[in-house]
Amino acid sequence: MSSRRAQLLSLDAMVSLVIVVFVFTAVLNTSSALKGEITSMLGWYERANIADNMLDIMIKTQGEPADWYQSPGSVKIVGLRSDSSLTGVDYKRVKALALNFNNKNVSGALNNMGTGKDFLLEFYISSFNVSIEGRFPRVHVPNITFADKKGGGVRFDIQGSPNGNDYFSVSYIKITKANGSVYKNENITRLSNNLNIEVNRGDIVEIVTASTTYITTTNAEVPSGLCNSAYSRGNTCVIGPLPENTRITIYATNPQSNFKIQLENKNNWKRIRLTSGEGNVVVTVSAYDNTTPKISSSYTFYTSLMEKKTPTYWFAVINGTPTQDRNSVLASMDRSPWIEPAERRITIARLEYNLSAGPSATDPMVYGLLTSQLPQGAYLSVSAPNSQGNATFVALSGSRLLGLMVYRDKTGGILRGVLVENRTSGVVLKYYSGTASSISIPLKDIFGEGSGMVLGLWFYSLNGWARGDVSINIEPSIEWSLKPKAEPALVKLTVWDDS
């Protein structure tokens, strides 16, 4: 009996031992798996925190020192928060970071924030893009009143050659009588009497030429450099040749003597000449190319840039070295066992006032929200070398878009300006004459006289002159009349470890 009891006890003990071993093994396996999961979760949390912490520091602080963007080499902590907003990001800080990412102090500060990990930083910023298509008109006669020194009448005519009162061709003609009645093209023949159309006080004649023309005047006060020395003699000034497709506008102030439009044939309004006004004619004349460029702007939302994967600014730091080589970035990411992205939708506060900036279709010289009316008498001043060249600008005020060109046609000539708008094709809003060295354009002509609107000025292009030889100023400064304009944006940070 005792032998059988011992065998049973041994069998029970063995079964129990096996069960205990199984339970112990299961516990050990569970503990190892749990430990692995905890370790993996802690690693993920640590990696995810790098991106989130970096973004939080950059977005929620101004950095150290707070004015680091003015001297990027002094930075210890990169912060982007706006001075004027607790939640917005400052565009000038973002731009300073984007333009100085390879500064060793900047990349070093970012490397410390990222605890030595590799990262890619991208900014998608909503913004304007402006364009000018076509040619600005050259002004041949800048709204001059032809009169003698006492304001009295002079001889004046327009002709097809510099030596005689020839007929010339027109593609358009409009006569607005002093009483308000309007006659265009073939309808002007209704005004003719024996081929002649009288031009009376207060009448306005607008012509677009279809052949070369010349303006001849005697005893008139004409600005220096306007008369063609090859044809002008004594008190007689010949202006031209004015090319085909020149728009000429004549306002008759005091046509007292024989001032008429004469048709070559009774029913042919396309061939005319002006009979000489002798002695008592006073007219105000402008003449410029009948072409205006198309001025346009587009506003691109950051979401469109995201879809195209074209950030406004971007750079990466790999193993402590800054780079903008996309292939190197992708190769480094491929070598990493993990990649953690983070992003923030932000509001970026943009105020630009840099009159030393170079030409750009995207970066304005002046940009912001106009909080008060522009100062009385404020003007844009442009100085340029004494050689042929031009500078073009695009101006935005609210929804209104204009183009401005400052130019010099020939060495030694005066600077001229022409302001155009898209609303009416072929029509110049204003034209300006300067001196041999500079020209001033009233700001009210460019931006209007309102307030509470977005205001922008793009220095669009420069031809014939070096940027360092062109001076652009606004007098008095309007910087303090502007406040930052809020723009939607997104910042994205991707962190990995290519070690």
Which residues lie below 8 Å from residue 483, measured CB to CB, with a gap of 6+?
84, 351, 368, 369, 371
Question: pLDDT by residue (tens digit) across 300-346?
Answer: 999 999 999 999 999 999 999 999 999 999 999 999 999 999 999 99
Cα(332)–Cα(318) distance, integer angstroms: 8
Question: pLDDT by residue (tens digit) across 233-260?
Answer: 888 999 999 999 999 999 988 877 778 8
45, pLDDT greater than 50: no
Helices assigned H by DSSP within 102-230: 104-113
96, pLDDT greater than 50: yes
pLDDT tier at 43, thresholds 50, 70, 90: very low
Least confident of 45-59, 260-274, 392-406, 408-422: 45-59
67, pLDDT greater than 90: yes
Instruction: Please tell me which residue, 154 or 91, carries the higher pLDDT value.
Output: 91
What's residue 87's pLDDT? Answer: 65
What's residue 84's pLDDT? Answer: 75
3, pLDDT greater than 60: no
Q: What angle do CA 270, 272, 274 make, to 5 degrees?
A: 150
Specify whether the CB–CB gap between 393 and 457 falls below 8 A: yes
pLDDT average, residue stretch 200-214 = 93
What's residue 498's pLDDT? Answer: 87
378, pLDDT greater than 80: yes
279, pLDDT greater than 60: no
Mean pLDDT of the chain: 87
Instruction: Please tell me which residue, 65 or 16, carries the higher pLDDT value.
Output: 65
What's residue 25's pLDDT? Answer: 62
Question: pLDDT by residue (tens digit) across 125-173?
Answer: 998 999 999 889 888 888 888 888 777 888 888 889 888 778 999 999 9
- Percentage of the chain modeled with pLDDT above 90: 58
pLDDT average, residue stretch 463-477 = 96
What's residue 33's pLDDT? Answer: 47
Helices assigned H by DSSP within 309-451: 326-335, 443-447
424, pLDDT greater than 70: no
pLDDT tier at 104, thresholds 50, 70, 90: very high
468, pLDDT greater than 50: yes
Instruction: Please tell me which residue, 5 or 92, carries the higher pLDDT value.
Output: 92
Residue type, 400: R
Specify whether the CB–CB gap between 63 and 71 falls below 8 A: no
| pTM of the shown model | 0.77
